[in-house]
Structure 1
């Protein structure tokens, strides 16, 4: 594994001068140095060979500039990923995909999605892939102030997710002490472990942290923010950029709360834990091209400049097992290039705007569900923070008014619910030009999960029509 820095002198100079254009140019030079060998490696694989030839590439060495690379179509999507896995299962007897570039016997670690609607989407690791993952996630740990010997209560789901076993192993490699309880154990057991083990650090989804805050006074006899937790790494759900939601978690835990997104194909991002969300700092520029932004409709590459919004194409620059090579993730990101207003770090950051397949077309008005959630969160502390958009048909087309169920805070009297609902509807319409039908319910009414909590709920029997 490479131990010396691959960044050229232009990179350090751009940071010293705080020059965004020079910074991106230095990164492009690094990317092209790594993309040549990576594309040649993938060209030997039958899946990627066919995709490149479809794009007119007979020799990957013909791609000489970053603009030529970025003009190529996506070679993988979520749907193509699943299709590739089904084909390899039929042809080779394993479900790891036709795009598996390494020998299957070299795959030593498997992660993926939960597979609740069929075969899981697998993320595969050779020894090198796993070591690079520990390296890049280790940078995230350093950013949040994780220390050697720290006890971490791991409350991300311990199923097949990257945030599960992979994250536990990365923490061990870093020298910390993860306690792998997992979200599956539930809130009651998690609070018992917090009381018994007194961890300095928690790993969990924002919704799990919210459940812990709500239940701690009853179960532990005191609030969660008195339990000595100093650092919380969250991820897997939207909402941490919403000021009211963020403040609720910070104040309810008494900890510094860091949003993150890391793991697959040596992706590693984390924010700097300030009072406001300043975007996810990108910690793996030397191993992964995460924010290759394209127009979601035209699929044309967009300039990678401060403030740009587009769909991310993901490419691992040194990956071996089943690499992401021009993988259309469906993530809509807003890129920031420059100095972070909170921590002063110069580099690239991004915000998650939404998922391309979550975009709602409401009588011609296009809105991401998280935008509605952001408006509703401004009514804190009158709401509990639990809410759900209820649809009678799959996205993207939504017939107004959009139905939304919102839990009231436990202290809000029922006599105030109707007034709160009307205020929420009016504010959503004013800010987003969307008609909403809000239903206020008692705290604890909505079904919740200790794993990832979905904001959009399609009524049973309607999902298959997507």
Structure 2
């Protein structure tokens, strides 16, 4: 069965960061012949769903006004950051109307970028944002904050040469001058082809994310998945 023959027009997804990746989203749309939208962003400890994209643009609208106080902080210093376009920080949430066990200044570990605070063309007037990554997955490389989500976006744009699966392997404590990244190749390649692919991956990461990477290619399916089918993105092989 060709998925496009099912006649689906709209897919509403949530719970995973993949929809924030334009290349991954495009793969879904091309495969199923439907519009794919992130319709369910939330934090399980706070509120299951308080943000979604609209049809006018692919930006998450904050829908929790009145129920949640939305704040951003520097994930390292804890300093409050202004809610204005371009600000990047860790989201902090406070319950405003919950009577039993409300959370106050709850650090979510989600790092967001504010995309807009004025009216959207869809008519909504609240702030809009995108998820940059997890604060606990962030790695500093010579002053650059590197998030697995950013690496995923780069690798997804190179499918089918790679599967899109990867791991950052940290073999010593910080600081880091470069990152060792294990990447699943999309198909068996000769030594010359592998060397070329490794160079192109490293170059693309440098161009788009501004850090140096040392790439180790492995066959498809080599990176261990969890029971839920997810790969662990950051692996520390050294003793703390």
TM range (shorter): 0.7 to 0.9
User: How well do the aligned residues superpose, as a CA RMSD in angstroms?
Assistant: 2.8
Partners in 2 of 1:453 and 1:244 — Cα distance?
18
> How far does the alpha carbon of each residue in 1:58-86 deviate from its partner, in whole angstroms, 9 at most, with x for none?
xxxxxxxxxxxxxxxxxxxxxxxxxxxxx
1:316 maps to 2:91: no
> How far does the alpha carbon of each residue in 1:335-393 deviate from its partner, in whole angstroms, 9 at most, with x for none?
2212446x454322211112222221224433222222222233234222222222235
1:226 maps to 2:5: yes
1:240 maps to 2:19: yes
**Following superposition of structure 1 onto structure 2, how do residues 23-172 of structure 1 map, counting pairs within 5 Å?**
none
Give the SS at the match of 2:132.
strand
**Following superposition of structure 1 onto structure 2, how do residues 158-237 of structure 1 map, counting pairs within 5 Å?**
222-237=1-16
Query: Are the equivalent residues in 2 in contact too, given 1:409–1:442 (CA < 8 A)?
Result: yes
Partners in 2 of 1:373 and 1:393 — Cα distance?
23
1:414 maps to 2:189: yes
Partners in 2 of 1:326 and 1:452 — Cα distance?
32
Summarize the Cα distance change of 1:384–1:297 in structure 2 as closer, same or farther, 3 Å threshold.
Answer: closer
The range that moved more, 236-245 or 222-231, is 222-231
**What is the aligned partner in structure 2 of residue 350 from structure 1?**
129
- Which sections of structure 1, spanning at least 5 residues, go unmatched? 1-221
Report how many residues are paired.
Answer: 234
Query: Are the equivalent residues in 2 in contact too, given 1:237–1:452 (CA < 8 A)?
Result: no
Query: Are the equivalent residues in 1 in contact too, given 2:226–2:232 (CA < 8 A)?
Result: no
Q: Which has the higher strand share?
A: 2
Q: TM-score, normalised by structure 1?
A: 0.45
Query: Are the equivalent residues in 2 in contact too, given 1:245–1:385 (CA < 8 A)?
Result: no
**What is the aligned partner in structure 1 of residue 215 from structure 2?**
438
Equivalent residue in structure 1 for 2:200, among 423, 444, 456: 423
> How far does the alpha carbon of each residue in 1:250-277 deviate from its partner, in whole angstroms, 9 at most, with x for none?
2123333222312543351112367xx7
Q: Which has the higher helix share?
A: 1
Partners in 2 of 1:229 and 1:284 — Cα distance?
30
Partners in 1 of 2:64 and 2:212 — Cα distance?
41
Query: Are the equivalent residues in 1 in contact too, given 2:225–2:232 (CA < 8 A)?
Result: no
**What is the aligned partner in structure 1 of residue 51 from structure 2?**
269
1:285 maps to 2:65: yes
Summarize the Cα distance change of 1:312–1:378 in structure 2 as closer, same or farther, 3 Å threshold.
Answer: same
**What is the aligned partner in structure 2 of residue 389 from structure 1?**
168
1:404 maps to 2:186: no
Summarize the Cα distance change of 1:419–1:399 in structure 2 as closer, same or farther, 3 Å threshold.
Answer: same
Q: TM-score, normalised by structure 2?
A: 0.81
> How far does the alpha carbon of each residue in 1:410-466 deviate from its partner, in whole angstroms, 9 at most, with x for none?
5xx513333111101112123333221222333333333463724523256x5x73x
Pairwise CA distance, 1:327: 1.0
Equivalent residue in structure 2 for 1:256, among 35, 40, 47: 35
Larger radius of gyration: 1
Partners in 2 of 1:286 and 1:389 — Cα distance?
39
